[in-house]
Amino acid sequence: MSTLDIATAPLDLPAVRSQVDVVLSAFLEGKARAAAADGHPAVVTEFLGTFLFSGGKRLRPLLCVIGWHAAGGHGTPAPTLRVAASLELFHAFALVHDDLMDDSATRRGRPTVHRAFAERHRAGRSAAAADRLGSNAALLIGDVALVWSDELLHTAGLRAGRLADVLRVVDAMRTEVMYGQCLDLLATGRPTASTAHALAIVRCKTAKYTVERPLHIGAAMAGAGPAFRARLSEYALPLGDAFQLRDDLLGVYGDPAVTGKPRLDDLRDGKHTTLVALALERADRAQRRALHALLGNPDLDERGADRIRAVFAETGAHATVERLIQSRCEQAEEALDRESFPPAALGALRQLARGAAARTA
Q: Which residues bind a copy of itself (CB under 8 A)?
A: 31, 35, 38-41, 43-44, 93, 97, 100-101, 124-125, 129, 133, 135-137, 139-140, 143-144, 146-148, 150-151, 154-155, 160-161, 163-164, 167-168, 171, 174-175, 178-179, 181-183, 185-186, 189-190, 200, 204
CB of 103 to a copy of itself, least distance (A): 8
d(CA 322, CA 290): 23
d(CA 358, CA 361): 9
Q: Residue 289, exposed/middle/buried by CB under 10 A (0-12, 13-18, 19+)?
A: exposed
| Closest of 91, 345, 328 to residue 218, by C-alpha | 345
d(CA 40, CA 64): 33
CB of 105 to a copy of itself, least distance (A): 16
d(CA 192, CA 278): 9
| Closest of 60, 57, 21, 89 to residue 359, by C-alpha | 57
Find the DSSP H helices in 125-262.
Answer: 127-154, 160-187, 195-202, 213-221, 226-253, 256-259
CB of 39 to a copy of itself, least distance (A): 7
d(CA 206, CA 251): 15
CB of 143 to a copy of itself, least distance (A): 6
Q: How many alpha carbons fall within 13 Å on the CB side of residue 282? A: 16
CB of 356 to a copy of itself, least distance (A): 25
Residue 204 or 220 with smaller CB distance to a copy of itself: 204
Q: Residue 328, exposed/middle/buried by CB under 10 A (0-12, 13-18, 19+)?
A: buried
> By the 8 A CB rule, do 186 and 193 touch?
no
CB of 318 to a copy of itself, least distance (A): 27
Residue 295 or 344 with smaller CB distance to a copy of itself: 295
Residue 120 or 309 with smaller CB distance to a copy of itself: 120
In angstroms, how far is CA 240 from the centroid of its own chain? 10
Residue 244 or 320 with smaller CB distance to a copy of itself: 244
CB of 251 to a copy of itself, least distance (A): 18
Residue 44 or 245 with smaller CB distance to a copy of itself: 44
* CA distance to 111, 177, 198, 208, 221, per residue, from 2 (Å): 47, 40, 48, 35, 22
d(CA 299, CA 83): 42
Residue 29 or 151 with smaller CB distance to a copy of itself: 151
User: 288 phi and psi, to 5 degrees?
Assistant: -65, -40
d(CA 211, CA 112): 25
Residue 53 or 179 with smaller CB distance to a copy of itself: 179
Residue 150 or 334 with smaller CB distance to a copy of itself: 150
Residue 123 or 227 with smaller CB distance to a copy of itself: 123
User: 63 phi and psi, to 5 degrees?
Assistant: -65, -35
| Closest of 87, 66, 78, 51 to residue 349, by C-alpha | 66
